[in-house]
Structure formats: structure tokens, C-alpha cells
Amino acid sequence: AIFAEFGTIQVENRYLSKMTHQPEYAQKTERVFEILNEISPPSGLFPYYFKNSFRGAPQDVERLKNGDPKPKFTNNKITFGAMADSTYEYMLKIWLQGGKKEPMYREMWDKAIDSMHSQLLQYSKPSGLAYVADSVGGMRLDHKMDHLVCFIGGALALGAYTDPLGLDSPRAQRDLKTARAVTYTCYQMYARMNTGISAEFVQFEEGRDFVIGRGAPHYLLRPEAFESFFILNQLTGDPVYREWGWECFQAIEKYCKTHIAYGSLGNVQDTNGKPRNKMESFFLAETLKYLYLLQDPDTEIDILNKHVFNTEAHPLRMFPVIDEEEIFSLKNHVAG
């Protein structure tokens, strides 16, 4: 099993339980995080491949009743990119969704982010661009960063602004600083390409910051950089994120748009290249949505007090907001 798969269904299933008043959807998927918390490495950073020995045999059922078998890690690779990203994201978002009343999730988030800073956060030469490297076992790092990792800037900022210790705490200020720095790197992943569009991942090399990763010159219409632009703009009010988003959107319009839709690019350095005949569903669900919201000064989306975005950018109301609305609706019904 892949870490990002079984850790990215909780926000949706909890919402389903909340709206249907059927708790089993939440209970079954929350159990995943309870087990993850039980088997967590000291760092709070998880390898992204797991194996579960449960096969449904009678002896397996009996072992399960006794708290065994637990999943086992089957590799030692750690990343905030592909195959892991959204489970870390949901540690924070489940806590926010529930009204900050379930400390286990926030504690898992803070533990992972502390270790990210101490073990994975790196700076390029000569420009000092911040990036989150992959761990390939022990202290060995692969100095690459997926476009997928660009979600972390927005997540760090959201975590800082909701930190139980307060925004002025050293931890929150550290996280906000890193959020800004990594998001700037993600912007540079666009700005430094000939088309103004980012590659799938970049490799950091001493002396020249980064180059396109081997076999990764393509752009799949990904949203993660724009997600962080939107969150940082909404939280800080800094207009630079809106400007970056507009710049990137214009590049996408120029190089990815066709007469009927948008297509991915085969090589972001080729200004004569044509869009490929493929448009991922997340381009509509996430990329365009975040770019639109980034430019909308009147949006009713409130990521601090009312809404949690799931990993596919669907805004869901936080549970305290749902409870308030139900009480208000009930009062109106009684009054009427």
C-alpha cells in the first residue's frame, strides 16, 4: 500500500459521517491515523510503502482483535512529494476540520514538520533557494523536489496561522518563514524555464541552483504552486502571490491552451512545442480553481475559520460551522 492512498480519505469520509449522521465512515478511516500514530517512527516521517499481512483468514481475524497485525514499512524512502504528500497534508486538515479538538492529528503534523526542518530542508547554491529534499535511507538525501511538494508552502502557512502556541511563537514563525521561502522556490521553478512553466521535478546541483530532473521536462497542468500562492495570499495579504499567479497563468494560456481545452506539455524548455492531447481532471478541479480564487478579492472562502480544502481543492465546511448553521436553521424553523 502507498502512504498517500490510505491517508487521504479521512476528510471526505468524516464530512460524509457529519452530513449523514452515520459515524461508521469516519470511524473506519480515522482508525488508519490511529494505527499510523501507534507505529510512527520517532521522527514522525513515514516511508511511503507499507505492507499489511492481514489476508482475512480466521487466524488473521483473531490477531486483528488482539491489535495485530500492524502494517510494516517495506522501504526506507521518505518524501513530501509523490506517494506521501497528501497524508501529511491531512494531518493538519483533519485537525482543522474538527474544530481543533482532536490533538493527535496536530501533534502528528508538528512532529513531522519539526523533522522536515531538521532532516530534509535544504538551501541551494548560489541563490539559497529553500527546498525539501527526499531521504533515500539513513542520512542520505536525494536533492530533488517534485512540483507536488509545492503544496507544503501553503500547508506550513496554514499551520503557522493556526498554531496552538500562537502565530508569534518561534515554531509558527519558523514555519511561516519556510512557507514563504519554499513557495518562492516553486515560483522560480516556473520563472526560470523558457516557457515560464515548471517541470515535473527539479534536481538541485551545487553552483547552479537547480536543473530539470532527468526524464522530467514535462508539465502535467499541476496545481500545487498555485495552491500555496492562494493560501499565502489569503493569510498574509501579500499581493506578490497574486502577481506570480497571474504571470504563471499567462504562460499556461500561451503554451497549454488549445481551441477546445488545455493540454500538458512535453518539454517546458521548448517554446515551439505543442500541447499534448491530455488534460488531467485536477486541472479543472484544482489548478484553475486556485488561480481563479487567487485573483478574486471578494471570495467567501475563509480557510482560517470556515473552510477546509480537501486534497483535490473541494472546499468543505468545518464542523463547528456546520453545527452553527444547523442551530441557526433550526431556530428559524421553530420561529416560522
Residue 129 one-letter amino acid = L
Q: What is the dihedral of CA 63, 94, 111, 232, to 10 degrees?
A: 160
Own/partner contacts of 34-42, CB < 8 Å, gap of 24 or more, are 34/104, 35/70, 35/71, 36/7, 36/87, 36/108, 37/104, 37/108, 38/70, 39/70, 39/71, 40/108, 40/111
- Long-range pairs for 40-44: beta carbons < 8 A, 24 or more residues apart: 40/108, 40/111, 43/111, 43/112, 43/115, 43/119, 44/108, 44/111, 44/112, 44/114, 44/115
Catalytic residue at 200?
A: yes
Peptide bond into 164 cis (omega under 30): no
Phi, psi of 50 (to 5 degrees): -125, 155
Looking at 89, 200, 224, 227, which residue is catalytic?
Answer: 200
Amino acid, single-letter form, for residue 299: T
Torsion of CA 79, 85, 88, 93, to 10 degrees: 160
- Spatial distance between the Cα atoms of 67 and 328, rounded to a whole number of angstroms: 43
User: Any known ligand binding at 74?
Assistant: no
Cis peptide before 239 (omega within 30 of 0): no
Residue 252 grid coordinates: 499556461
Q: Please work out, in degrees rounded to the nearest 5, the angle formed at the alpha carbon of residue 194 by the alpha carbons of 193 and 200.
A: 40
Task: Compute φ and ψ for 265, nearest 5 degrees.
Answer: -110, 145
How far apart are the C-alpha atoms of 171 and 53, rounded to whole Å? 39
Instruction: Return the bridge partners of 146, or none.
Output: 201
Grid coordinates representing 317 are: 465546511
Instruction: Write out the binding residues for Ca(2+).
Output: 311
**Catalytic residue IDs:** 200
Instruction: Write out the binding residues.
Output: 311
